Amino acid sequence: MLAAYAARIDPEEPLSALVVGEVDEPDVPEGWVAVEVRAASLNHHDVWSLKGVGLPQERLPMILGCDAAGVDPDGNEVIVHAVISDPDWRGDESLDPKRSLLSEVHPGTLAERVAVPRHNLVPKPEELSFEQACCLPTAYLTAYRMLFTRGRLRPGQTVLVQGAAGGVASAAIALARAAGARVWATSREERKREYAVELGAHQAFESGARLPDRVDLVIETVGEATWAHSLRAVKPGGIVVVAGATSGMNPPADLSRVFFKQIEVIGSTMGTRDELGDLVAMMEATGLRPRIDRSLPLAEAADGIAAMIAGDVFGKIVLRP
Ligand SMILES: NC(=O)c1ccc[n+]([C@@H]2O[C@H](COP(=O)([O-])OP(=O)(O)OC[C@H]3O[C@@H](n4cnc5c(N)ncnc54)[C@H](OP(=O)(O)O)[C@@H]3O)[C@@H](O)[C@H]2O)c1
């Protein structure tokens, strides 16, 4: 079958480590199923994998991709939950110390078929196309958990989303607006600030700008570049939820601000299968649809990954096997 995979690791030139070509069909262990992938979407995670972050040399070659929607062996249209937990794990899968994401230990979704535990399948509603549905399992699910589970966002509260055009950030803007929050966003670029407002932000500001008021919740995936601003922006007793650090992992901690303002700094990673089900229901109930930047044949995966590396993306990049 055709697949896009990491043939080697290259921290400097990640695109040069990508191959799109023929590979063997995936193994399907007991309790797993092979899903016919109709659409898969890219995430920054795919770039990290090509750079060797979370993907050691001994697991190569590895098919990339966390997100997919497709058809299961019984003909059901499904969305694939990307978090693979230990078969003996019970409860919140994202807390399983042995969990992995598709493409870290098990082959990923940028292929004609992907094998996953049957439990990881969530029914795809008819109203969502395969291309829309495949955008949900990583960026949208991460944003959903950050906002509503970890960030405890309530309608009427004010949320600040840092790095407005990012995959998780743009999902957070749209979901928070649909849930009745006041949404502010930051970005370094004017056209991305305009994009944030199109997505539903009430106002967009330059990165680091002084805001009209303090916020209840900050959604942080940028890291070093925005961290100090996030701690300044939040109200006393407010919450900063962190799920990524694209610009660097080691910002100054500014602990005096954390304890003096009694800020809750909360980590968040992906989400559970049940949260993915709730997210799908939210999309159905609100009519919200993921923004798709472009949809390419799987054979053109390199073009999609190059656009992500260049940061020249407004919405999700979808690949069609
Ligand atoms: N924990 C999890 O489960 C989880 C899940 C998904 C993603 N993540 C992580 O979250 C991060 C974002 O992922 P993504 O897929 O949303 O990535 P992305 O689409 O590449 O977004 C990154 C955003 O970060 C901002 N940014 C980057 N460098 C910056 C800098 N020097 N200064 C200011 N802003 C900067 C940019 O915002 P502007 O250009 O608008 O300023 C950009 O849009 C990644 O590190 C990813 O690994 C974690």
2-135+290-320: what CATH class? alpha beta
CA 96 / ligand 1 centre spacing (Å) = 24
Residue matched to tokens 């959604």? 219
Residue matched to tokens 């992907």? 114
- Euclidean distance between CA atoms 30 and 28, whole angstroms: 7
Q: Ligand 1: does its nearest atom lie under 6 Å from the Cβ of 166?
A: yes
**For a pocket test of ligand 1, which of 92, 161, 187, 221 has the largest count of ligand atoms closer than 8 A to its C-beta?**
221
- With 0.85 as the threshold, say if the pTM is over it: yes
The per-residue pLDDT for 221 is 96
The structural domains of the chain, with segments of one domain joined by +, span 2-135+290-320, 139-267
Please report which confidence band the pLDDT of residue 166 belongs to, taking 50, 70 and 90 as the band edges.
confident
Percentage of residues in the chain having pLDDT higher than 90: 95
139-267: what CATH class? alpha beta
The per-residue pLDDT for 291 is 94
- Euclidean distance between CA atoms 105 and 55, whole angstroms: 8
What are 5-49's pLDDT values in tens digits?
999 999 999 999 999 999 999 999 999 999 999 999 999 999 999
The per-residue pLDDT for 252 is 85
Closest atom of ligand 1 to CA, residue 267: 1
Confirm whether 2-135+290-320 and 139-267 share one CATH topology: yes
State the first-to-last Cα distance of the chain, in angstroms, to the nearest integer.
Answer: 10
CA 222 / ligand 1 centre spacing (Å) = 5
**Mean pLDDT across the chain:** 96
Please report which confidence band the pLDDT of residue 133 belongs to, taking 50, 70 and 90 as the band edges.
very high
What are 136-147's pLDDT values in tens digits?
999 999 999 999
Distinct helix (H) and strand (E) counts, the chain: 9, 18
